[in-house]
Amino acid sequence: MTPELNDCRFLRAARRQSVDTTPVWIMRQAGRYLPEYRSVRDKVSFLELCKRPDLAAEVTLTAQQALGVDAAILFADLLPILEPMGFQLEYTSGGGPKIHNPIRTSEDLKRVRAGDLDELGFVYDTVRLVRKQLPANIPLLGFAGAPFTLASYAIEGGGSRDFARTKRLMYGCPDLWTGLMQRLVDSVVGYLERQIEAGCQAVQLFDSWAGCLSPADYRQYALPYTKGIFDRLPAHVPAIHFLTGNPALLPLQREAGGSIIGLDWRIDLADAWSRVGLDVAVQGNLDPLVLQADLATLKTQTRAVLDAAGGRPGHIFNLGHGVLPETDPNQVKALVAMVHEMGAARS
């Protein structure tokens, strides 16, 4: 890594070193709220876009540049990793992702493989293309889904409100659950290792749906597998552990691993930081809907998040979940400028 990249704002904060101002990036920063994204997406389907390194690199780079954020995130999705594992994936227009052959029985598990991660070569090609063109002081983040969140798609066959099938299988078929989770761990580790080899400076693990679990169930059914991933990733690469919807899980989220804990907005950042421990970095945690409020409210709430972080090294500013499609891109740009301005006064 060049000294310039190694010393950039994002990586310094990730290591809890002092920074000139608070680094900021936005989950789902390359998405439908951006006109630049929509014009590329008008020409190809979502899955095609993920599989075309030239276009995926273009939307990754455009978002970083348009917003002035301190990190780029690889344009891809959580679910294509399921294809080499034997699942048939489709993104329906308007209806979100669909798995045509979800796993429901022990018989189904027989066709689920750990997966040949080289089949996701389009992702690593995107990483190489992006890294070549990114500014020298901007890191590229890779990402993957955490085992519980991926398992929920593999079992439900799509999104879910109550995760009923997932929990029925988890409680009722422990061997099937373990078998699926172990295959997911192996696949995710291989996938993230390849992203890092191709040129990512940090990675984020998204456990978007684990918040539906009680602390005891999270400990039993999710934590060992998430931990299995973080334990196997190279220790020098910052790893963000993002989980949403359930602040009661924070101590367990920390225990499961990651050098940066991703927070949602359901808890005050200062409270969350003390619960996970001040010896770890944190990321977050503005409510994405605040971007749809007036500028004065946006400013007040942004200041409140920065106040809660208290100028302590190790805060990366972000939303508490992905930016919503209805958001005005100018509001996102204004947020980035505010964080940089107000963050400089504190650090």
Binding site for ligand CP3 (CB under 6 A): 27-32, 41, 46, 73, 75, 77-79, 96-97, 143, 159, 206, 208, 321-322
Nearer to ligand CP3, 97 or 257 (CB): 97
Q: Least Å distance between CB 208 and ligand CP3?
A: 3
Buried-state track 11-27, b at ≥16 Cβ within 10 A, e below 16 = bbbbebeebebbbbbbb
**Cα gap 298→308, rounded to integer Å:** 15
Nearer to ligand CP3, 299 or 333 (CB): 333
How many other CB atoms sit within 10 Å of the CB of residue 2? 9
Q: Which amino acid is at 93?
A: S
Instruction: Give SS3 for 240.
Output: strand
3-state secondary structure 71-86: CEECCCCCCHHHCCCC
Q: Least Å distance between CB 132 and ligand CP3?
A: 19
Nearer to ligand CP3, 237 or 342 (CB): 237
* Identified catalytic residue from 12, 15, 41, 254: 41
How many other CB atoms sit within 10 Å of the CB of residue 107? 9
Q: Contact at 8 Å (CB) between 200 and 140?
A: yes
Q: Least Å distance between CB 296 and ligand CP3?
A: 27
Nearer to ligand CP3, 130 or 342 (CB): 130
Q: Decide if 168 is catalytic.
A: no
Nearer to ligand CP3, 74 or 338 (CB): 74
**Cα gap 112→155, rounded to integer Å:** 12
Q: Decide if 32 is catalytic.
A: yes
* Identified catalytic residue from 33, 37, 124, 153: 153
Q: Decide if 41 is catalytic.
A: yes
* Identified catalytic residue from 52, 77, 165, 287: 77
* Cross-strand partners of 315: 282
Q: Least Å distance between CB 322 and ligand CP3?
A: 4
Q: Least Å distance between CB 275 and ligand CP3?
A: 21
Alpha helices in the chain (DSSP H): 3-6, 9-14, 35-41, 46-51, 53-67, 106-109, 121-133, 147-156, 164-172, 174-198, 215-217, 223-232, 250-256, 269-276, 295-309, 329-346
Nearer to ligand CP3, 45 or 106 (CB): 45
* Identified catalytic residue from 28, 131, 183, 194: 28
Greatest Cα-to-Cα distance within the chain, rounded to the nearest angstrom: 60
* Cross-strand partners of 72: 140
According to DSSP, residue 55 is labeled: H
Q: Decide if 28 is catalytic.
A: yes
Q: Least Å distance between CB 27 and ligand CP3?
A: 5
Q: Decide if 12 is catalytic.
A: no
Catalytically active residues, by annotation: 28, 32, 41, 77, 153
